[in-house]
Amino acid sequence: MQRKHLNGDDEADQPPGAPRDWRDVNPARLVDDILVSLTFLTRLPLSVPVELFKERPLTIASRAFPIAGAIIGLLGGLVYWFSAWLGLPVNVSAAITLAALLLITGAFHEDGLADVADGFGGGWNRERKLEIMRDSRLGTYGSAALICSLLLRFTLITAYARLDGGGTGGASIVINVLIASGAASRCVAIIVQHLVPPARAEGASARAGRPLEVTVLQAMVATGVIVFLAVNPVSAVMGIVAALGAGATVAFLAHRQIGGQTGDVLGATQQAAEVAFLIAGLMVHP
Q: Is residue 171 part of a domain?
A: yes
d(CA 93, CA 109) in angstroms, rounded, equals: 22
Q: Is residue 65 part of a domain?
A: no
d(CA 197, CA 183) in angstroms, rounded, equals: 23
- What is the block-wise mean pLDDT of the chain (286 residues), using blocks of 10 residues? 39 65 80 95 92 90 97 98 95 97 96 96 91 91 97 97 83 97 98 92 70 94 98 96 98 95 96 98 85
Q: Which domain holds residue 116?
A: 83-284
Burial (Cβ within 10 Å: 0-12, 13-18, ≥19) of residue 54: exposed
Cα dihedral value 63, 220, 274, 37, nearest 10: -10
* Residue 116, pLDDT score: 96
Q: Is residue 31 part of a domain?
A: no
* Residue 3, pLDDT score: 36
Q: Is residue 19 part of a domain?
A: no
Q: Is residue 12 part of a domain?
A: no
Q: Is residue 30 part of a domain?
A: no
How many structural domains compose the chain? 1
Nearest of 268, 218, 227 to residue 248 by alpha carbon: 268
* Residue 9, pLDDT score: 46
Q: Is residue 44 part of a domain?
A: no
Q: Is residue 32 part of a domain?
A: no
* Residue 235, pLDDT score: 96
104 backbone φψ class: left, alpha, beta (φ>0; ψ -120 to 50): alpha
Could you tell me if 196 and 188 are in contact, meaning their C-beta atoms sit under 8 angstroms apart? no
